[in-house]
Structures are given as structure tokens and as C-alpha cells.
Amino acid sequence: MNTKRVIVALDSDNLKNTLKIAKKIKSEVYAFKIGYEFFFNFGINGYNQLSKISPKIFLDLKLHDIPNTVKKGIFAIKKLKPILTTIHISGGDEMMKASVLKKGTTKVLGVSILTSLDKSQCMKYYNNKNISMLVKKMVKQAKNIGLDGIVCSPKEIKLVRKEVGENFIIVTPGIRPVNRNIFKDDQKRVLTPSKAIKYGADLVVIGRPITEASDPLQTIKEINKTL
């Protein structure tokens, strides 16, 4: 794996500014992650502009539909050649099987339980309030079916790594550069980049602490020094 471990999330509706930041920091990142906001605002044109600056893109669209629809969607995504993309594990075994890409540059990651769901929501929709147990079951299945890795919260890295062993990619958002969330935002259960890597994550996703910093390049350089 590349020595760079930081994926920078570019969640923005300002294309010009986003591309400017990407140009500035591209030498320090493992990849750039774009999701609903970027892709639904700027589409394939925006994707291609970003890809010219830095070809390593994590296209985080979290697909969830019937197997045939997801399969066709994954094939369309594959043409854009992102290095990573995502589906929901809860779409079921057949949907996951339909998403497995054996060849090519794109690796498919499974999303387990959204971190926005608490115990009572898990009870309501999964009939189980033990989130760790649910995550464990889901990632095991994702690995058995042949996905390339998963996305999980900082809280679950150790548990997931233990469950899936070494040859399986763990990507973790919810990362904040210092050991407390001085960046007053919506991430509640946070971890520093170095702790996340120490606990077993391969790659960490960091967005606003870098993109909204007064000096994004200096910020990511400082983060990289800790890894």
C-alpha cells in the first residue's frame, strides 16, 4: 500500500474552490473522496475535472437496490475508474455478489451500520440493539462474498480487523487530527488518524478539518507526519 493513508473528503457544492484545494494538496493525499454532494451537483464532468488533477478517486455512492440494478450501476461506475466505491451490505447476499468486481482498478467496499443509527433505531430496523454484533455479522458476510473491504466507524476498527483478518481494506471516517473534537461539528465518536491506523484501519477519511482549514496543505502535512 502507498505510504499515504489520508483520503480527503471533498464534500462541496463549489466546484472551483474544491478543484483549487485538490490541486494544492494532491501530493499529500492517498485519494480524494467524493459523494452525493459533489457527484449530484457536478456529475461526470466534475468527476473528470477532479480526475485530471488527481486520478485516485473514491466514488462514495453507497449503492442499495436489487442485485441486477446494482450490478449495472457498478459496471457504469467502473468505467470512470475510481479506485474505491461503496455499496450497502444490508442490500443482501445477492446484491453483494452482483457487486463483486474481480478485475480492474475499482475496489468495492461495504458499508455496514450507518453511524447515524443508534441502538433504538437498530432495534427498530434490524431487530437487534447490539450494534457491534450486527457490524461483526455484516463484515464477515461481506468478506465471505468477496467484497474488497468495508467502511466502519472508529469505534469498530479493532473489532472489524479481528473479524476479517489482514487482507481486507478498512476505511474509517470520523477522524479528527487531535485527540478531541476542537472542530465543533457533527462527528461525535472521533479518533485521531494515528490511533485509527494503530487500531487496524488501512485508510482514514478526513474532510472539513482539512478542506476548511486556513492552510489545507500545512494541515495535511502535519497529519501525515503523525502517521
Q: Grid coordinates in use for 174?
A: 470520523
Q: Is 187 in the site for ligand C5P (CB under 6 A)?
A: yes
Alpha helices in the chain (DSSP H): 15-25, 36-53, 67-80, 93-99, 119-126, 131-145, 157-164, 193-199, 208-211, 216-225
Cell of 35: 459523494
Task: Give the residue with the Cβ less far from ligand C5P, 35 or 55.
Answer: 35
Active site residue 62: yes
Query: Does residue number 207 form part of the binding site for ligand C5P (CB under 6 A)?
Result: yes
Q: Which of 206, 216, 219, 223 binds ligand C5P (CB under 6 A)?
A: 206
**R_g of the chain, CA atoms, integer Å:** 17
CA-CA distance, 31 to 19, in Å (whole number)? 13
Question: With binding defined as CB under 6 A, does residue 208 bind ligand C5P?
Answer: yes
- Between 33 and 56, name the residue whose CB sits nearer to ligand C5P: 33
And the C-alpha cell for 207?
A: 474532510
The answer to whether 223 contacts ligand C5P (rule: CB under 6 A) is: no
Contact yes or no for 176/137 (Cβ under 8 A): no
Provide the mask over 11-50, with x wherever binding to ligand C5P is found by CB under 6 A and - wherever it is not: x---------------------x-x---------------
Q: Which of 4, 26, 62, 97 does the annotation list as catalytic?
A: 62
Q: Is 112 a binder of ligand C5P (CB under 6 A)?
A: no
Stretch that binds ligand C5P, among 69-77, 118-126, 159-167, 200-208 (CB under 6 A): 200-208
Torsion of Cα atoms, 23 then 49 then 42 then 148, to 10°: -90
The residues that bridge with 34 in the sheet, in sequence order, are 59
Q: How many residues bind ligand C5P (CB under 6 A)?
A: 13
What's the burial of 26, exposed, middle or buried (CB within 10 Å: 0-12/13-18/19+)? Answer: middle
* Least distance from ligand C5P to the Cβ atom of residue 96, Å: 18
| Binding pattern for the stretch 145-174 against ligand C5P, x by CB under 6 A and - elsewhere | --------x-------------------xx
Distance, CA of 173 to CA of 152 (rounded, Å):
7
Q: Which residues of this protein are in contact with ligand C5P, per CB under 6 A?
A: 9, 11, 33, 35, 115, 153, 173-174, 187, 205-208
Residues forming the active site: 62
